[in-house]
Amino acid sequence: MVLDLGGSRARPPARGRGRGSQLLYERVVAYVEELVAERGLVPGDLLPTYAELAASVGVSLITVRRALDELERAGRVRRHQGLGTFLARPRIVTEPARAGSLLGTLRQGETGPPADSIDTRILEMRRGLPSPDVASALRIQPDAPVWRLRRQRLIDGQPAVVETSIIPVVLAPDLDQLVERRGGSLYDLLARECKLEDEYEEQYLEIVVVPDADARRLLSIPPRTPVVRIRGLSMDKSGTPFDCYEQLYRATEFAFAISGSTSRQLFPTPGFQDWEVRALPDPSP
């Protein structure tokens, strides 16, 4: 089902028009498509309320909810509790295989958001001990401390991506102070202050159909809304791995452009799930 965001004229919406074998919720979807075309609506415009849609199509509120669920999963609308249902913007194209910062992977131009629409919030910055899997990927001992930096990326004030970086403390001993004091791109900061330049990456991308409560909260998505999870490893020019990262995307808002390259297969298989950083031992006797 496609919600046409173009400006072409459509037939005036007909109240409860029969559609042959069309399911009831599909009638609502078709009605919304016609409404968008008829009124020339654009992303960000408010759609009629549930009650108004139900009355216009001649269906129940449950049927309207099902139709909007489908449209939201397809990335065509976005619902905000207490505000209403809005047309969503076109999917943002990102190139996750491109080396560098997350913001550098967002394709510029018509498919990418303006730089001034992107904001970053630091959710967590702490030291801890890596899981055995993360320690193996970073080629450090399990008792070697790491930084865990978690950030939330917002586009036009709405959560879009949650990014977690795990970086060995020995490679960036003052990272907490640098992040707090300097801000900006993490990879630019690592290159400038710690001589860690991103030369090579390996990634695994998967669809998480049922994200956990924490991911849903941080991305502000309703239950049963899938997310795209990318787990990756960044290495510098000398071949030293310095960042084991995870990125969670709102699946309805992004498209991913990936080009092939010869893989070194240095990163663990996608089956490993222990991505945690545990608390450091209590130094007190």
What local confidence, expressed as pLDDT, does residue 13 receive? 42
Task: State the residue for tokens 């899938």.
Answer: 226
pLDDT the model gives residue 92: 75
Measure the CA–CA gap between 2 and 25, rounded to whole angstroms: 14
Which SS3 state, helix, strand or coil, does residue 197 take?
A: coil
Right CATH for 92-278 from 1.10.10.10, 1.10.3720.10, 3.40.1410.10, 3.50.50.60: 3.40.1410.10
Show the low-confidence residues of the chain (pLDDT under 70): 1-21, 96-116, 259-273, 285
Please tell me the predicted confidence (pLDDT) of residue 6: 34
In the prediction, which pLDDT does 1 show? 30
The first and second tokens of residue 280, run together, are 């450091």
CATH T-level topology, domain 24-87:
Arc Repressor Mutant, subunit A (1.10.10)
Specify whether the CB–CB gap between 128 and 145 falls below 8 A: yes
CA dist 64 and 30 (Å) reads: 12
Alpha-carbon distance of 98 to 106, in angstroms, equals 9
Do residues 114 and 72 touch, judged by C-beta distance below 8 A? Answer: no
Tracing tokens 């990927």 back to the chain, one arrives at 137
Q: Choose among 211, 212, 219, 247: nearest CA to 232.
A: 247
Domain locations in the chain? 24-87, 92-278
